[in-house]
Amino acid sequence: MAAENQSLATYLPVLVQVVLGLSIPAAILLVSHIFGQRAKGNYIKDKAYECGLPSEGKVHPRFAVKFHVTAMLFILFDIEVVFLVPWALVYREFLAASIAITGATAVFLGILVFGLVYELRRGALEWEK
Amino acid sequence: MEALLLDLLRSPELPYVAARGLVLIGAVMTIAGYSVLLERKASAWIQGRVGPNRTTTPFLAWIPLLGSFLRLGGFIQPAADGGKFLFKEDPIPAHVNKPYYVLAPVIALAPALAVLAMIPLSALPDGTPLALCPGADVGVLLMFAVSSLGVYGIALGGWASNSKFPFLGAVRGSAQLISYELAMGLSVLPVFLLTSAPGVDDGLNLATIVAGQEGMWNIVRQPLAALVFLVCIFAETNRHPFDMPESETDLVGGFHTEYGAFKFGLFFVAEYGHMVIGSSLFILMFLGGWQLPFVETAAWGALGTVAGLAIFGAKLAAFLFFFVWVRWTIPRFRYDQVMRLGWNVLLPLAVANLVLTFLVLAVAG
């Protein structure tokens, strides 16, 4: 437990920095609210700004399904990237100790490349069509 | 866990850590302010204008030569901009979703400030890195993870504005950011492979990555990875030619159209803060950090620390100028071009580079 606490204590500056990072922008906004002129609303200010034209249609319009596909593909590939990080750290050590790792890596990278090629050939991200 | 937190809060180091964090945040916000000045001046030079040269203050103006130098160089402009942000009318339009509208700029800036704890700036005489969190074994991963949280600021800001064009900007921006994150993550893997030689344990520590570049920078050993990473940080910081979330020509003002006063200012600072962080990452991973080729600053003791800091600062300044230079040279891409570049060019390139490095290491050991 002591060792665990020690390694967590290494990250104390990160915790402090996160707290500072959240509180400084909030403090700036507060100061700006106190010092800034009081805003008076009027009809024009309370309308969505679209370069002076009257706004038409919904404020949250329908958007292309491609964005959704992009997000799903991102999650798939990003998980593969995350799995590759620990591999990158031990790969050369395993090679030096002649532990068989190349075959397994080749299979994993093969799946990644196959997935990428399949996705690109299917035209999952053809934005013009 | 609570006991641990209490211990940490009672630890005598806490005020010093917080003070150092505040200094670093102050420095980065100053750098961000002066990057805006650099942007305005450099764009003026590129377009044959003079740029900001009017702002001055009474006392400074009375100093003979220095006063007019500061005025003509626009050196007081960032302070004037900040003051104007601070004293402007601070409106919240009636049609927005108030809590999230106010929260968004904070969320956009907070990750940029939080990851500063990870960045090592130089090496102390005893060899430990000069950083807020010098023992961070997972420094790079934490930087990637936290700095990409900035996308929530953009998404939330655009959505909470309850307005068409900010919403479109937010959707575009989020899709662009996650797309380039893939190529970015894959492009740094060869760097980890090079750093984690047998016997090196903390290959994700930025200081270890810098130490591994002694003699030869990673940009020489991994030019392709450096190129992919470079393009990706331009896309991740929403800089030209990738500034899809706020392409003024087709989206009015992008995701921050409905923002004003310092709420807009925070988005602005966040963009430049992300530029500083992206540049620092590139410098640390590909340009040798605080090292110079053929110069042994490590042997100089305390002077070496200062020299390292100066070298890092000079590289950072050069890189920030590069950001500005590219912005005023290359026109903006169309959205489908941006996405095609990310998925069909950079991602396959990064994968190919990874496979190549894997094969070379498997053969050469």
Q: Which of A12, A27, A59 is the last residue of a domain?
A: A59
- 8 Å CB contact between B82 and B33: yes
pLDDT, position B133 = 77
Q: Which of A41, A59, A77 is the last residue of a domain?
A: A59
DSSP string over B156-167: HHHHHTT-HHHH
Both A68 and A18 in a single domain? Answer: no
Both A118 and A98 in a single domain? Answer: yes
Option in B112, B196, B344 nearest A89 (CB): B196
Chain A stretch 30-89, residues whose beta carbon is closer than 8 A to a beta carbon of chain B = 31-33, 35-39, 41, 45-51, 55, 57-61, 63, 66-67, 70-71, 73-74, 77-78, 81-82, 84-85, 88-89
pLDDT, position B306 = 87
Cβ contact (<8 Å) for B365 and A96?
Answer: yes
Show residues of chain B in contact with A14, CB under 8 Å: 114, 117-118, 132-133, 136, 142
Query: How confident is the model over A14-33, as a mean pLDDT?
Result: 89
Q: What is the ipTM of this complex?
A: 0.87
Both A66 and A129 in a single domain? Answer: yes
The residues spanned by each domain of chain B are: 93-364
Cβ contact (<8 Å) for B136 and A95?
Answer: no
- 8 Å CB contact between B316 and B330: no
Q: Which domain holds residue A25?
A: 1-59
Both A46 and A79 in a single domain? Answer: no
Show residues of chain B in contact with A77, CB under 8 Å: 182, 347
Both A70 and A129 in a single domain? Answer: yes
Cβ contact (<8 Å) for A88 and B192?
Answer: yes
Residue B250 to residue B227: CA distance in whole angstroms: 29
* 3-state secondary structure labels for all residues of B298-309: HHHCHHHHHHHH
Measured CA distances, B122 to A97, B23, B196, B285 (Å): 34, 16, 21, 14
Radius of gyration of chain A (CA): 26
pLDDT, position A3 = 58
Return the structure tokens found at A80.
């593969």
B333: closest CA among B244, B229, B253, B248?
Answer: B244
- CA B200 to the chain's CA centroid: 28
- 8 Å CB contact between A80 and B326: no
Residue B9 to residue B17: CA distance in whole angstroms: 11
Q: Which of A12, A35, A59 is the last residue of a domain?
A: A59
Both A48 and A98 in a single domain? Answer: no
> Rounded to two decimals, what is the model's pTM?
0.90
Q: Going residue by residue through chain B (365 aa), what tens digit of pLDDT does each one get?
A: 677 777 777 777 788 888 888 998 999 989 988 998 999 999 999 999 988 888 888 787 788 888 888 888 888 888 888 888 888 888 888 888 889 998 999 999 999 998 888 888 888 887 788 888 777 788 888 888 888 888 898 889 888 888 888 888 888 888 888 889 889 999 999 998 888 877 777 878 888 888 888 878 888 888 999 999 999 999 988 887 888 777 777 777 778 888 888 888 888 888 899 999 999 999 998 988 888 887 777 777 788 888 888 999 999 999 999 999 998 898 888 888 888 888 889 999 999 999 999 899 888 86
pLDDT 10s digits, A34-75? 888 877 778 877 777 777 777 777 777 788 788 888 888 888
Q: How confident is the model at residue A1 (pLDDT cuts 50, 70, 90)?
A: very low
Chosen for mutation from B256, B266, B341 (greatest number of chain A CBs closer than 10 Å) is B266
Both A3 and A49 in a single domain? Answer: yes
State which amino acid sits at residue A64.
A
Both A76 and A124 in a single domain? Answer: yes
Option in B164, B182, B266 nearest A50 (CB): B164
Both A52 and A68 in a single domain? Answer: no
Which residues neighbour B351 within 8 Å (Cβ) at sequence distance 6 or greater? A109, A112, A113, A116, B186
Residue with tokens 């991740």: B236
| Cis peptide bond N-terminal to B241, omega within 30 | yes
Return the structure tokens found at B66.
């220095």
B358: closest CA among A121, A113, A73?
Answer: A113
Chosen for mutation from B10, B97, B186, B357 (greatest number of chain A CBs closer than 10 Å) is B186
pLDDT 10s digits, B111-148? 999 888 888 888 888 778 888 877 778 888 888 888 88
